[in-house]
Structures are given as C-alpha cells and as structure tokens.
Amino acid sequence: MIAQVGVSKDDDVDKFSTFNIKREPPTIISAPLLTDAYASYECRVMDHRSYGDHTLFVGEVVAVHSSPKAFNSQEMLNLKNVLPALYLGGDTYFSADRSSQRRLGRQTYKASSEPCHARRYR
C-alpha cells in the first residue's frame, strides 16, 4: 500500500478513502494524524524551497504522538509489535522483523594525522 499511496499524485484522489486510511484529529496543527501510525509528529512549516520538481519543507515539531506498544522501555521500536517499512529506492521496500535485529559492537577509532585526501580506505 505504501508504494500505491506514494504514486497517487492526482489532486482528485482522496487517499484516505481510496486506501481506507483511518485518521484522527490533531492536537495543534490542522493536518490529520494517521490512526495506525506507531509514531507521528505535528509540525509547523517554518520554510520551504523549490529545487527542480521537488519542494523541501523545514518544520518545527510542535507535538509528538506514539503508540505505547510500538516502543520498548529503551524507547526503541519493539519489533514484536511493529514491522517498519524501509524505503530502499524505486519501488523497493524492506520490512525488518525480530530475526533480522542485530546488536552491532561499538569500536573507538583514533583520528589519523594524515590529510583527508591522503588516507587510504579499503
């Protein structure tokens, strides 16, 4: 459904009714909140700029909403309860599940004294 909603650009398409997307009233701004979203932000537009056929919006977050079941005690996504969709490009999406979660070790690196252009990376 994510890809279908994203490519439906005609102003005549009511995405809420066409795709049966439930919504609820916001607390501060006028744009509706998505009922089934596990997290959402209400933002006030501070600036916008056009770049070719795209517009970049800069906003101030004025309210945050989240589903308590979607996050664990460390405020990380609880993959037992949600499956986030990750956009990889084109029409390709990926969804993570519990079996794909890995804890990566942290390693400390020392800064090199060589100039950046002289460093060799493998």
What confidence tier does 110 reach under pLDDT thresholds 50, 70, 90? low
Q: What pLDDT score does 89 carry?
A: 85
As given in the structure block, the two tokens for residue 74 are 């460390």
Read off the pLDDT of residues 27-55 as tens digits, 9 standing for 90 and up.
999 999 999 999 999 999 999 999 999 99
Residues 6+ apart with CB under 8 A from 34: 21, 22, 23, 40
Residues 6+ apart with CB under 8 A from 46: 58, 59, 60
Q: Which domains does the chain show, CATH number per domain?
A: 2-99 (2.30.110.10)
Q: What pLDDT score does 31 carry?
A: 92
